[in-house]
Amino acid sequence: MTRLQIIFTRLALFALVMGAWEALPRAGAVNPLLLPPLSGVVRMLGQLLGRAQVQEAIGVTAAEVIVAFIIAVPLGAAIGILAAENDYFGAIFRPMLFYVFSIPKSIFLPMFILVFGIGFGQKVAYAAFSTLFIVIMSAAAAVESVKADHVLVARSYGASPLQVLTRVYVPSMMPFLLEALRISMIFNFTGVMIAEMYASRTGIGHLIASWGENFQMPQLLAGVILLAAVAILFNETVRWLEGRCSTWRT
C-alpha cells in the first residue's frame, strides 16, 4: 500500500467508528442514555467550553500539570544521570526502580492527602511523585545511548569537556530526551487526573468523576473527548519533533 492509501484507509476507519457512534444510538441499537449520539456530545463540548466553571477547571489542571512537570523532570534527570554514570549507585538502584514501576502508586494518595490536603499542592506533589520514576529510567537510558567510542574519539582529538558535552552527549541523547519528555508528560498528566478524580474540589478530573457519578453521559463523554484530543495532540507534536531529531543519530 502506498502512503496515501494508508492515510485514506485510516481516515475511512475513523469515519466508520464516528459514524457508528452517531448512527447506532439514533437507530436505537444502543441505549442513547448510555451512549448519546456523537453530534450531541460535540454540541455539549462546545457548550462546556463556554462555561466559566469549566474554563476555571481547565486552568487549574493545566497549572498543576505544568508545575508538577517542572519539579519532576530536573529532579528525575539528575538522579537518572547519576545512576547511569556511577556504576555502583546504578547497580544498587536499578532493580529497585524496575520493581517500583509495577507498584500501583495511587495507594500512596491517602498519605499525600494527609500531608498536603486536597488542594493544588497535593495534585502537584502526587503527579511529580508518580512521574519521577519514569524520568529516572528514561534519563539513565539516554545517557547510556551515548557511544563510548564517540566520546573517546572526541577526547583524542582534544575536545574539551564542554565540547564533548555539546558535540557528543547532547546530539546523541536528543531523540531519547524528547521521548523521555513525551512519556514523562503522559505519566504526569495521568497522575494529575487520578489525583483529581480521587479527591478534589476543582479541575477537569474532578468534573469528569462527578459527571460520571451523576450519570451525565453527554458531559462525561465530551470531557473525555477533550482530554483525549489534548493528550494525542501533544504526543504527536513531540513525536514529530523526535522524527526530525533522529537524523542526528548515527
Partner 1 sequence: MQRPSPATVRRLILVLVLALWEVVPLTGVLPELFLPALSKTLTVLVQNWAEYAHALAVTLYEVALSMAIACGGGILVGALVGGLALLRNLLLPVFSSLYAVPIVILYPIFTAWFGIGSESKIAFAGIYGFFPVMLSTAAGIGTIDQNLLLAARSMGASVPQQIARVVIPASIPTVLSGLRLGGALAIIGVVVAEMLTSSDGIGYLVTRYRTVLDSPRVFAAILMILVLSVVFDLIARWAERRTLAWQTAGRRERGAQIRARSLAAAPATA
**46 vs 95 by CB, closer to partner 1:** 95
Provide φ and ψ at 157, rounded to 5°.
-85, 10
∠ CA(145), CA(147), CA(152), 5° rounding?
150
**Residue whose cell numbers read 533522529:** 246
Q: Determine contact, residues 77/134, Cβ cutoff 8 Å.
A: no
Cα(189)–Cα(233) distance, integer angstroms: 13
**168 vs 182 by CB, closer to partner 1:** 182
Task: Select the span of 18-26, 47-55, 161-169, 212-220 touching partner 1 (CB under 8 A).
Answer: 212-220
**164 vs 183 by CB, closer to partner 1:** 183
- Smallest distance, Å, CB 24 to partner 1? 14
Cα(198)–Cα(21) distance, integer angstroms: 29
Q: Does 91 bind partner 1 (CB under 8 A)?
A: yes
**Residue whose cell numbers read 546530539:** 171
Q: 40-46: which pairs have CB atoms within 8 A and are 24 or more residues apart?
A: 40/218, 41/218, 41/221, 41/222, 41/225, 42/222, 42/225, 44/218, 44/219, 44/221, 44/222, 45/222, 45/225, 45/226
Residue type, 212: G
Residue type, 219: Q
**2 vs 247 by CB, closer to partner 1:** 2
- Contact string (CB under 8 A) for partner 1, positions 179-208, x = contact: x---x--xx-xxx-xx--xx------x--x
How many residues contact partner 1, by CB under 8 A? 60
Q: Does 88 bind partner 1 (CB under 8 A)?
A: yes
- Smallest distance, Å, CB 155 to partner 1? 27
Single out the residue of 95, 148, 149, 247 in contact with partner 1 (rule: CB under 8 A).
Answer: 95
Site residues (CB under 8 A) for partner 1? 1, 6, 9-10, 13, 34, 88, 91-92, 95-96, 99, 101-111, 113-115, 130, 134, 137, 141, 179, 183, 186-187, 189-191, 193-194, 197-198, 205, 208-209, 211-213, 215, 217, 220-221, 223-224, 227-228, 231-232, 234-236
